[in-house]
Amino acid sequence: MTANNSDATPATSLDVEKSWSESIRLFTHPRAIAMLFLGFSAGIPILMIFSSLSVWMTEAGVKKSMVTYFSWAALGYSFKFVWAPLIDKLPIPFLTAWLGRRRAWILLSQLAVITAILWMANTDPSAGTASLTVMAYAAVMLGFSSATQDIVIDAYRIDSAGPDLQAFMSATYIAGYRIAMIVSGAGALLLATYFGSTAAEYSYEAWKMSYAVLAGVMLIGVATTLIIKEPDHYRRDDVPYEASDYLRLLLVFLLAVAAFIAAYRLGSDYSDKLKLAWTESMGNKTLARFLVETSRLWVGIGLAGLVAYGLVAVGVGNRSMISEAYVAPVKDFFSRYGMGLALLLLALVGLYRISDIVMGVIANVFYLDMGYTKDDVAYVSKTFGLLMTIAGGFLGGLLAVRYGVMRILMLGAVLSALTNLLFILLATGDANMPMLFAVIGADNISAGLASAAFIAFLSSLTNVSFTAMQYAIFSSLMTLFPKILGGYSGSIVESIDYPAFFAMTALLTLPVMVLIYLCRNRFNDEVKMA
């Protein structure tokens, strides 16, 4: 069947000229430029939870086992669909009346990000266990605030322009995001070194200043939010809700979250015993820990769902409002595309990035194993590679508008397979810097190209009546299975070695290509030029 996306497309649309020069000029469209700066705002926090914070804590003398725990602070990125409906539903006192629904939430999330970064800046991880606990709370706040910012910026992008501009906006968003990663990754380390902290001589004041500067950099995003216009499209509620209904929705959400946290914490002692028992029975400690922690996670989610259901059943939450927030977006997606096509599209969403993510988990270890130094990796992979990703993003956006999103999705999948095979050349020879530049350059250009087309594709699947919820589901789904499989990439390499591993990651793109072919024949590709 062919989906009718009339309800899923914002009213605002642009007439796109067929010439290459006119297409290129669309990168300078005000909405595309706005996404460059909003992408920059979205990209600042992520590495401040992962790489920069890890280096800071390592210099502070924190044990490696404790450092890795802080990566859990970013779990909000994988579960942001849980609170995405609140962004579609809840007005923010004063701010919504002043800025509008989308900009109010963007501003609030940006202010929360700045607050969390400053909280981290004013916490010294070397001061003991209590200080580490405070740092953990600040990191969790940063992860939650950053994920919220991602939700609402994605919703703003989809609401503010028609499908013909989405590929360009995706490309500039990726460029801004990648530039921000350089600033918050390499920039944070350089600032800390400049202010006087090194591996040999730790200085808390240096890291404090570094994080304070990056909090100030977030003001670029705040200024952008205040300058841009609110999207013309507003969702019309069929049922007029009272202020008390919004508060009750928020109460149900908070109590469900509290139930999840309580279940997860109370199950700690039992899970430790279960890990020991399963390790003895399976003979595999890693697998036992994975199964126990996964089970523990789903028990917490299940309890949270039961609490929410019970609260709605007894009248704490407005049943109609909660159904519209959580159930209606899912029903809408399946009703628009039909069960068969909807499942194909969801499979494509969940698998499209699998080869890149699975290989990316082991990439840095591979470079070091092949004899490249940390400086080589930092310069070629983290700096040159990011620049190539930005170039690929612009190329992908341009080609997606010229030739259609589905065609460029297929091109991205093919290039992903080919560039993964190029890594076999690196794995079968000695360290070779020109070859490293060539392979990383090709890999990152293809990744940027595919990402720009993929974001435009996800945007075209979204109904503006449920923008935040539906896009949050898609963006969470696209990394869930690849990240799970990626966790085993080290074990796979140990079993079959690098050349076979890279061949395997290339083969992972074959089902993706089949899905693109099936969806292309049945999906109405609106994001294209005639």
Q: What is the pLDDT of residue 238?
A: 39
Mean pLDDT of the region 327-336: 89
Identify which has the larger pLDDT, 352 or 524.
Answer: 352
Identify which has the larger pLDDT, 358 or 284.
Answer: 358
When mean pLDDT is compared across 40-54, 161-175, 425-439, the lowest value belongs to 161-175
Does 181 score more than 80 pLDDT?
yes
Tell which residue, 354, 330, 356, has the closest CA to residue 343: 330
Query: What band does 375 get if pLDDT is binned at 50, 70 and 90?
Result: low
Q: What is the pLDDT of residue 163?
A: 67
Q: According to DSSP H, which parts of 195-327 are helical?
A: 204-217, 219-227, 243-266, 268-282, 285-313, 319-322
- pLDDT tens readout for residues 9-62: 443 444 444 455 666 666 667 788 889 999 999 999 988 886 678 778 878 887
Does 148 score more than 50 pLDDT?
yes
Gyration radius of the chain over CA positions: 23
Q: Which residue, chain included where needed, has tokens 């109460």?
A: 251
Tell which residue, 433, 419, 426, 429, has the closest CA to residue 384: 433
Identify which has the larger pLDDT, 520 or 351.
Answer: 351
Directed axis angle between helix 385-403 and helix 405-427, to 10°? Answer: 150
Beta-sheet strands, E only, within 41-143: none
Tell which residue, 387, 385, 389, 394, has the closest CA to residue 438: 385
Do 240 and 288 meet the contact criterion of CB atoms below 8 Å apart?
no
Do 77 and 150 meet the contact criterion of CB atoms below 8 Å apart?
yes
The contacts of residue 157 (CB under 8 Å, 6+ apart) are: 35, 38, 166, 169, 170, 173, 459
315 backbone dihedrals φ, ψ, rounded to 5°: 95, 10
Q: What is the pLDDT of residue 402?
A: 78
Secondary structure (DSSP) of 486-511: HTTHHHHHHHHHHHHHHHHHHHTHHH
Cα distance between residue 122 and residue 93, in whole Å? 29
What count of residues does the chain have? 530
Amino acid identity, position 448: G
- Report the predicted TM-score, pTM, of the whole model to 2 decimal places: 0.74
Q: Which residue, chain included where needed, has tokens 């390790």?
A: 279
- pLDDT tens readout for residues 376-395: 776 777 778 888 888 888 88
Domains of the chain are 17-230 (1.20.1250.20), 242-317 (no CATH), 324-530 (1.20.1250.20)
Cα distance between residue 265 and residue 280, in whole Å? 24
Q: Give me the chain's average pLDDT, please.
A: 80
Using alpha carbons only, give the angle 297, 151, 147 rounded to the nearest 5 degrees: 50
